[in-house]
Amino acid sequence: MITFMNNSDSEEEPCNERTSLMSAESPPVPSYQDGLQASEAGEAQAHRKRRTGGSRSPNNTADGDMSDSGVPVRESALENEEEELTLKYGAKHVIMLFVPVTLCMIVVVATIKSVRFYTEKNGQLIYTPFSEDTPSVGQRLLNSVLNTIIMISVIIVMTVFLVLLYKYRCYKFIHGWLILSSLMLLFLFTYIYLGEVLKTYNVAMDYPTLFLIIWNFGAVGMICIHWKGPLQLQQAYLIMISALMALVFIKYLPEWSAWVILGAISIYDLMAVLCPKGPLRMLVETAQERNEPIFPALIYSSAMMWTVGMAKPDTAARRASQQTWDAAEDGRENHSSPSHANSQMSERRSPVPTRPINSFEELEEEERGVKLGLGDFIFYSVLVGKAAATASGDWNTTLACFVAILIGLCLTLLLLAVFKKALPALPISITFGLIFYFSTDNLVRPFMDTLASHQLYI
């Protein structure tokens, strides 16, 4: 899912120029100052009802100083202002997501094209038990559909389990689960990846150096992701673990199953986020009711907020609607272990729109941002990576899928700006990606190859 976020820095202490560390958690909405509380509350109510995703400019605090009689007028004026701000920043948000998605895909495609390990068939996951080595096409199709059914059921079961855990407040269990899975991703999968890359380029490395590198990489990663760290480092780590997870999927999912799973998971994403009884939507709503602080987020967040001398936000203000999806997002924490990967993937894909922040005078510069679940990164990269791995060495297919996914993301963000609520990020992109993959591989490739063999240009 995709959400807007208005402030991404949530810490017990304010983040200012002196402390350049950004907490991994999303920040709570800054509190109203006591004097403004009454007038602001009215606006906040209106905003909460509208569930907008825009953020208010610092002018609002000035508005808040005016008398309460101006509330309805102010609300409509603010609404227009918010619309403008939303759309004005809309293009920036799109680019803020284009860049990490592109980077993740570049890492995956570069690895697929150079490291042979990830394109070799070495067994399958236990979630896709049916083999595709059958002689007949019908049997192969049936096996891939069965694999998909099993995989999606596992994802649904895991998601429901997570929702139940969250509903019954088993936070320690969820925390432990998340930490375990990121440990596995950051240490084990990185070790395997580094080993394969070194093998490909025939570089010798001794164990002490390897241990030092992996230990540093993993430890800093754990700190950045689960606690505090510079925003860009955190983003880089999230991109890297998404790429690693995508590579695992590309390696272990058999071909036809991978495509059917991609299609099925975008349908599942659509239903889970938009249907009233969908698990992801229930997760979001439960989190909204509780207004709880966030788990270590394994959602990619693109913006940060700097505040100078921010007034200490009182706990009442923390009850801003924001918290809801933060918790929701946390629900979808990332797991590296294949056993948990599925549910986590699905959960990770559910960012939620951020509530407008009520800024006060001390708020210096604030950048609105968007959040995208890591599951979305993973499945985008799986699609492009599979295209790179299986499309007969053709780069055109990979590029076509890449453009298709970016356009899907752009359209989804446009819808987000229009509807201002949590939206699934997979369906449009994956649909375009699949259409472009199959059509480019089967129609465009022969055409372009024939043209190139005669050195013809169109």
Which residues carry out catalysis?
A: 269, 376
CB 9, min distance to another protein, A: 22
Q: Can residue 446 be called a binding residue for another protein (CB under 8 A)? A: yes
User: CB 248: neighbour CB atoms within 10 A?
Assistant: 21
Residues 6+ apart with CB under 8 A from 332: 162, 280, 283, 298, 299, 344, 345, 346, 347, 348, 349, 350, 373, 374, 375
Told to check if 439 binds another protein by CB under 8 A, we report yes
Residue 387 CB-half CA count within 13 A:
33
Considering the rule CB under 8 A, would residue 68 count as an interface residue with another protein? no
CB of 454 to another protein, least distance (A): 7
Q: Which of 38, 62, 66, 91 binds another protein (CB under 8 A)?
A: 91
Minimum CB distance to another protein, residue 380 (Å): 14
Q: Can you say whether the dihedral through the CA atoms of 319, 325, 331, 334 is positive or negative? A: negative
Nearer to another protein, 329 or 367 (CB): 367
User: What angle do the packed helices 255-274 and 279-290 form, to 10 degrees?
Assistant: 40
**Do 392 and 441 meet the contact criterion of CB atoms below 8 Å apart?**
yes
Cα–Cα distance for residue pair 221/64, rounded to 1 Å: 42
**Cross-strand partners of 3:** 371
Stretch near another protein under the rule CB under 8 A, chosen from 146-154, 234-242, 318-326, 440-448: 440-448
- 106 lies in the site for another protein, by CB under 8 A: no
Minimum Å gap between C-beta 399 and another protein is 6
What is the Cα–Cα distance from 23 to 16, expressed in whole angstroms? 12
8 A C-beta contact, residue 337 and residue 181: yes
Q: What are the structure tokens assigned to 380, written together?
A: 């985008």
Contacts (CB under 8 A) with another protein, residues 39-58? none
Q: Please identify, using beta-carbon distances, which residue of 157 and 451 lies nearer to another protein.
A: 451
What residues are paired with 22 via a beta bridge? 229
Amino acid (one-letter) located at 452: A
Pairing status of strand 299-301 against strand 369-373: antiparallel
Stretch near another protein under the rule CB under 8 A, chosen from 53-61, 86-94, 170-178, 260-268 = 86-94
Among 154, 348, 394, 428, binds another protein (CB under 8 A): 394
Residue 269 Cβ vs another protein, minimum distance, rounded to whole Å: 22
Q: Residue 370 forms beta bridges with which residues?
A: 4
* Closest CB to another protein among residues 325, 432: 432
Cβ-based burial of 106 (10 A; exposed 0-12, middle 13-18, buried ≥19) = middle
Rank residues 211 and 395 by Cβ distance to another protein and give the closer one: 395
Least distance to another protein, CB of residue 108, Å = 17
CB atoms within 10 A of CB 274: 16
Instruction: Please tell me whether residue 58 adopts helix, strand or coil conformation.
Output: coil
Task: Closer to another protein by CB, 48 or 113: give it.
Answer: 113
Q: Are 174 and 193 in contact (CB under 8 A)?
A: no
Q: Does 83 bind another protein (CB under 8 A)?
A: yes
Residue 181 is a binding residue for another protein (CB under 8 A): no
Q: How far is the CB of 393 from another protein (least distance, A)?
A: 8
Nearer to another protein, 188 or 448 (CB): 448
Q: Which is nearer to another protein, 122 or 455 (CB)?
A: 455
| Stretch of 39-47, 71-79, 87-95, 195-203 contacting another protein, by CB under 8 A | 87-95
* Footprint of another protein on 400-419 (CB under 8 A): 400, 403-404, 406-407, 410
Q: What angle do helix axes 190-200 and 207-226 make, rounded to 10 degrees?
A: 140
Residues of this chain that bind another protein (CB under 8 A):
83-84, 87-88, 91-92, 94-95, 98, 393-396, 399-400, 403-404, 406-407, 410, 436, 439-440, 442-444, 446-452, 454-458
